[in-house]
């Protein structure tokens, strides 16, 4: 499973979904799905914009979490 840490980044900076959408020109629905971790896919352009906006690496924004029972 892939965990998205967007909500943590936004919380640390006290940002709202609308703030990030406005400042990055990323669709608000895309930000909402990433924030709530309901997105099934993400464009690489969106990942790049978010990483530049939060000044982080891809590995800081996304993390692979092993689900129970998987190896």
Give, in words, the CATH class of 2-64: mainly alpha
What is the total residue count of the chain? 71
Predicted pLDDT at 40: 94
Give me the residue spans of the domains in the chain.
Answer: 2-64
pLDDT of residue 11: 97
Q: What is the pLDDT of residue 70?
A: 61
What is the block-wise mean pLDDT of the chain (71 residues), using blocks of 10 residues? 96 97 98 96 97 97 85 57
Task: Give residue 71's pLDDT.
Answer: 57
Nearest partner of 54 among 22, 4, 10, 3, judged by Cα: 10
Q: What is the pLDDT of residue 20?
A: 98
Strand partners, 4: 62
């Amino acid at each position: 499973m892939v965990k998205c840490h967007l909500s943590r980044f936004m919380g640390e900076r006290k940002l709202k979904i609308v703030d990030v959408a406005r400042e990055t020109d990323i669709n608000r629905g895309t930000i909402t799905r990433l924030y709530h971790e309901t997105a099934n896919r993400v464009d690489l352009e969106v990942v790049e914009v978010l990483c530049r906006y939060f000044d982080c690496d891809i590995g800081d924004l996304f993390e692979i979490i092993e689900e129970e029972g998987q190896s």
